[in-house]
Chains A and B, each alone.
Chain A
């Protein structure tokens, strides 16, 4: 069964601190892995997208890693800001010839002043 699991479910950190979110997946055939940020009641916004051959991808204060052998990914947020408070969703795309996305359940991050 195609599954994407994320941990932790929720996380509270102080403004300015760093944090790392985890994603494990059992999806086949794998095409790529994405991290999205979703504010409550809004659509997801893409942070990074990595294919099988990519180990790391950065987007400003966000850095994603991918280990295709262990089927694990992480999203590291540096110097967190209040505006980082959101849900972070790991999404794996099936290689089906078009985009079928398998969503993780997300990590709800709260950055506290």
Chain B
């Protein structure tokens, strides 16, 4: 199983809503990542978890709150988002060392209205 599963595939939320994005993998990977991708742009790293601990926060606004409840799951909690936060949110996982494959999920298309 080389799959990273993200749910939901699409999400529309208002600026006062609270929602969560979910990511799951069963490859035994101990590094998991959240990326944000705007149209026609490369993915931008948001957060890295290594061994279930937050290793990198790329100065992401606090309205995005990551959580890694166990080695297979990664969540991204959303609150009070802005329309400019609308994007494709990608989850990825890998072994923690640098020379191995990183697998991406299919993404969640988020629209903030």
Cβ proximity bits B78-109 to A, threshold 8 Å, 1 near / 0 not: 00000000001010101011111111111101
Interface size class of B (residues with CB under 8 A): 20 to 34
C-alpha spacing A99/B31, complex, angstroms? 8
Q: Are A43 and B48 in contact (CB under 8 A)?
A: no
Contacts of A41 in B (CB 8 A): 88, 107, 109
Q: Are A98 and B50 in contact (CB under 8 A)?
A: yes
Give the interface SS of chain A, mostly helix, strand, loop or mixed: strand
Of all chain B residues, the one with the shortest Cβ separation from A6 is B42
Q: Judge whether B43 is part of the interface by a CB distance below 8 angstroms.
A: yes
Size of the A side of the interface (Cβ < 8 Å), in residues, is 27
Of all chain B residues, the one with the shortest Cβ separation from A9 is B40
Q: A31-B99, A32-B98, A95-B98 are in contact. Are A43 and B41 (CB under 8 A)?
A: no
20 further A-B contacts with Cβ under 8 Å, apart from A32-B99, A46-B103, are A34-B102, A36-B104, A43-B4, A43-B6, A43-B105, A46-B101, A49-B99, A93-B98, A93-B99, A97-B96, A97-B98, A98-B31, A98-B48, A98-B50, A98-B98, A99-B33, A99-B98, A99-B100, A99-B102, A105-B42
